[in-house]
Amino acid sequence: MHIRVNKEELQSRLSNIQSIVDKKSTMPILGHFLLTVDQSSFITATDLETAIKEPLQIEEIKEGGQLCIPAKKFYEIVREMDGEIELEAEGTDWLKIRTGKSLFRIACMNPDDFPKWPQITDTKTISFSASKLQNMIEKTLYAAGESDTRYTLNSLLFHIKPDEKSFAIVGTDGHRLSLIKEPLNVEGLEETKVIVPRKSASELRRFLLKATRSRETEEEAVEAEATDTTILMHITKNHVVFKTDEIEFLVRLIEGNYPSYEQVIPVANEKKVLVQREDFIKALRRVSIISKDRSNAIKLDLETDRITLTASNPDLGDARDEIDVQYSGEAISLGFNARYLVDALNAMSADTVVFELQEPLSPTLLKEVGIENYICVVMPMRI
Amino acid sequence: MERVILLIDMDAFFASVEQQCNPALRGKPIAVIGGGKRTVVTTASYEARKWGVKTGMNLHEAGQRCPELIVVTGNNDKYTHTCTELKKIYLKYTPLVEIYSIDEAFLDVTASQHLFGGPLKIGERIKREIRSRFGINATVGIGPNKLIAKLAADLSKPDGLRWIKPGEVSEVLEGLPPDELWGIGKRMAAHLKAMGIKTCGELSRMHPGVLRSRFGIVGERLRMMAMGIDETPVVSDPEAEDIRSIGHSMTLPEDIFRISEIDRYLLILSDMVTFRARRYGYAGKTVSVVIRYRSFHTFSVHQKLSLPTSDTHLVYCTTKDMVRSVRLREPVRLLGVSLGCLVRNMPQQSLFSKQNRRRRFLETVDDIRCRYGKGILFWAASLQTETQGGVISPAWRPEGVHRSL
């Protein structure tokens, strides 16, 4: 292999794969990426759960081939170089990197040992807005479990229901749940559930964010609504490939049964409270300082137009706060892990949220005023 | 105000209780052992100690040293009952009673001593009362803190009574080897010896910086100990203590290697640990497993959980995975399970009813056990296991959880 590449092109492609490349893995090859130079040239990186394949634009190909290059070091080198970079392989063991008068020679691994990109056959394909998908992941990922022994909880569920014409993403750790639904019109598809591991979902979110911004300049993107880049999802039994702009993002799915989340969403909670989101977050954060080392336990006393928040810790003392709300039902007291409520409120954006309760120990529901497709369920604590 | 602390230490506690229960054993060399297939001497009576029988010795060796040795299988209920009764005696003299272990208790009599004519009078009265009610001897050590009280008792055993007054502390410590002090072990003493420190007097005169650079924060504490300074309070309420872990370990009836057998013991231990955690309202975030090989090589593995738990099944599954992550190189002699990073159990309700049901199930099991005894219910998987016949751990306490040292 012997090629010339533009530095900016190479650097931006390499930066996309840095978070996927696993530096701490026990398999050294996962700290490498695969560079394939042929009719079309591309870069492949994987951590065995997720993989990314992106095209690389090459200025001049003197000789094709494949090479397995240490991802982090190579990125560091490329960042420090200027102008056009010349890459030349010595067999499959060494890579020479040259610009101007600088020359690097780094050890590579055998490209045949790099994990193979799986055969994607028998796919169902859905096209969806990249920015919407990114937003959906953003709003559900916080609720997913992190190291639960019920491993399917350490993931997000993508649930496609053609009869309802909906596409839902769910995250839950068994104590709280977050669900967002978007309309989706697909023909000839049966109900589909795929379980995406948490880390892959978080990488996917980053990937989608880049994909939606790539068409604008960075500055515009921050302010403007992301343009509607379309993403194609190819779903198979074991994998999902997300594809946009020639970049392929592959996720290995978790096998298993996701808990039947629909049953635990309360539909008839009668006590409805209107709360100012920011005020509620601030009060929760303040009061829970006292109970941080006691599972963030706080007590909410709900009365007409008022919530009183209290926390106590025999080693420290206690705290009390009050917020004004709109409520006219009977008084009720509940215990909560304050973090669960704060996480849920932070994932929302409306000024006012509805907090729906029933019994002190039954599931509670949070949603934004005027928004029906996004809900968070939080289980109380026994106090 | 200078504190006055008493340490009441039962002499050969298990053996004395057994001798008291069975007059035929009085005045004879006896050894109390656990109930398992193979076991070691838990306590030897003073008569047996004269022959060189020591705690921790295996039966074969003990028998060789003392051919007339009478071996008695321990009975935990007798000891715990006696311990609970003893506490009632102590409480007559001060409310500040810390049952430190099954045969040791600290009493803070700073504020109540004048009512009884001084600490020595209290010591005498307690010794007399224990003797008349239970027929066993106790040693009482008195000092300005727990460390010195313990030392006073150790120096005057058996059946002793000694008061090391604040003014005498430095004199007593001057020529004392450091490992005579409570909390300094043989290994630490060897480290100190290598530095040329052979007595507490020498240790107390070391430059703090030298000790700190050699031992870290412990170094500072070592020097304080050698000066006879110890600020730890007598804690009467175990609930208020800084509790770090709840753990159980057991020496297995025989060395085992099969993973399925190890699992059975992990289940029993996890059950014991989580039962106790639930009883006292704690949940732990780290699970540790201690493994001791046949060769006595001992190590532990730890695993952090995402949420604090006191669920038997979850702790059991975690320990199972942990043991599988270790490549066992020898048959296992001892297994231990403990739950650390404890927090007050704040029962977070679960979304999925299965979890809530499991918790209610465990609560019910606990209630039944509390009412009808621990042995009334156990897991079917532990059925084939020889029931634990071991003698109670010396760290047993009448209530509450351990405070690890």
What is the domain-level CATH number for residue B308? Answer: 3.30.1490.100
Q: Which of A113, A146, A171 is the last residue of a domain?
A: A113
Question: Which residue in this structure is represented by tokens 């224990």?
Answer: B130
Residue of B351, B353, B354, B355 to mutate when probing chain A, most A C-beta within 10 A: B351
Catalytic residue among B2, B47, B104, B202: B104
pLDDT-based confidence at residue A123 (cuts at 50, 70, 90): confident
At residue B393, the pLDDT reads 54
H helix or E strand, kind and range, residue B140: strand B138-143
| B343: confidence class by pLDDT, cuts 50, 70, 90 | confident
Is B231 among the domain residues?
no
Instruction: Clarify whether residues A130 and A249 are in a common domain.
Output: yes
Rg (CA), chain A: 25
Q: Is B242 in the same domain as B359?
A: yes
Asked, for residue B286, whether it belongs to a domain, the answer is yes
CB contact under 8 A, A379 and B348: yes
Question: Are A294 and A360 members of one domain?
Answer: yes
Is pLDDT at B399 greater than 60 in this prediction?
no
Whether A295 sits inside 8 A of B308 (CB atoms) is: yes
Q: Are B269 and B277 in contact (CB under 8 A)?
A: no
Helices B76-90 and B119-134, axial angle in degrees (round to 10):
140
Could you report how far apart the first and last alpha carbons of chain B are, in Å?
A: 27
In this structure, the answer to whether residues B364 and B298 fall within a common structural domain is yes
Count of structural domains within chain B? 3
Considering the domain architecture, whether residues A198 and A320 belong to the same structural domain is answered as no
Is the pLDDT score of B175 beyond 90? no
**In A22-83, beta strands by DSSP E:** 32-37, 42-46, 50-55, 60-63, 65-70
For A298, which residue in chain B has the nearest alpha carbon? B346
Q: Is residue A34 pLDDT above 90, yes or no?
A: yes
For residue B241, what are its two tokens? 């203590």
Give domain status of residue A23, yes or no. Answer: yes
Three-state SS for A201? helix
Does A358 lie at the interface with B, CB-CB under 8 angstroms? no
Residues A149, A104 share a domain: no
- Asked if A379's CB is within 8 angstroms of B351's CB, the reply is yes
**What is the reported pLDDT for B237?**
62
Question: Is B349 close to A380, i.e. CB distance below 8 A?
Answer: yes
Q: In angstroms, what separates the C-alpha of A32 from chain B's closest C-alpha? A: 27
Q: Is the pLDDT score of B351 beyond 90?
A: no
B41 in the same domain as B177? no
pLDDT (0 to 100) of residue A351? 95
**Stretch (H or E) spanning B85:** helix B76-90
B317 contacts A149? CB cut-off 8 A:
yes
pLDDT, residue B162, reads 92
Q: Does residue B275 form part of some domain?
A: yes
Instruction: Give domain status of residue B398, yes or no.
Output: no
Domain that residue A85 falls in: 2-113
A299-302 LR contacts (CB < 8 Å, sep 24+): A299/A333, A299/A334, A299/A335, A299/A336, A299/A383, A300/A333, A300/A334, A300/A335, A300/A336, A301/A331, A301/A332, A301/A333, A302/A271, A302/A273, A302/A327, A302/A331, A302/A332, A302/A333, A302/A334, A302/A357
Whether the Cβ atoms of residue A284 and residue A378 lie closer than 8 Å to each other: no
Q: How far is A274 from chain B (nearest CA, A)?
A: 23
Judge whether A383 lies within some domain: no
**Residue B284 is part of which domain span?**
238-382
Give the pLDDT confidence of A158-208 residue by residue, as tens digits.
Answer: 999 988 999 999 999 989 999 999 999 887 788 999 999 999 999 999 989
In the prediction, which pLDDT does A226 show? Answer: 47
Considering B226, B248, B272, which residue would you say is the last residue of a domain?
A: B226
pLDDT tens sequence across B225-239 = 888 888 888 877 654
As for how many domains chain A has, the answer is: 3
- Residue A292, classified by CB atoms within 10 Å of its CB into exposed (0-12), middle (13-18) or buried (19+), is middle
Rounded CA gap, A230 and A236, in Å? Answer: 19
Mean pLDDT of A230-235: 92
Higher-scoring residue by pLDDT: B34, A305: A305
Q: Residues B19-67: pLDDT tens digits?
A: 888 888 888 888 888 766 667 788 888 888 888 888 878 888 888 888 8
Same domain, B272 and B245: yes
Question: Could you give the percent of chain A with pLDDT greater than 70?
Answer: 96
Strands B104-108 and B97-101: antiparallel
- Tell me if residue B104 is catalytic: yes
Task: Tell me which DSSP letter residue B349 carries.
Answer: P
pLDDT of B79 > 80? The answer is: yes
pTM score: 0.65
A70-82 confidence digits (pLDDT tens): 999 999 999 999 8
**Residue A213 and residue A228: Cα distance in Å, rounded?**
10
Q: How far is B351 from chain A (nearest CA, A)?
A: 5
Domain CATH code at residue A327:
3.10.150.10
CB neighbour list of residue B277: distance below 8 Å, 6 or more residues apart:
B246, B283, B284, B310, B339, B342, B345, B401
Distance CA B394, CA A244 (A): 67
Asked if residue A255 and residue A138 are part of one domain, the reply reads yes
A243 touches chain B (CB under 8 A): no
Residue B402 confidence (pLDDT): 42
Domain finish residue from A81, A113, A145: A113
Residue A119 domain-assigned (yes or no)? no
Tell whether A361 lies on the interface with B, counting CB pairs under 8 A: yes
pLDDT at res. A227: 60
Residue A89 lies in a domain: yes
Q: What is the DSSP letter of A288?
A: H
Give the domain-ending residue among B226, B247, B263.
B226
- Final residue in a domain of this structure, among A113, A133, A163: A113
Q: Which distant-in-sequence residues (6+ apart) come within 8 Å of A311 by Cβ?
A: A287, A288, A289, A290, A291, A297, A298, A299, A318, A319, A338
Q: What pLDDT does B213 receive?
A: 83
Residue B149 falls within a domain, yes or no? no
Does B179 share its domain with B205? yes
Would you say residue A46 lies in a domain? yes
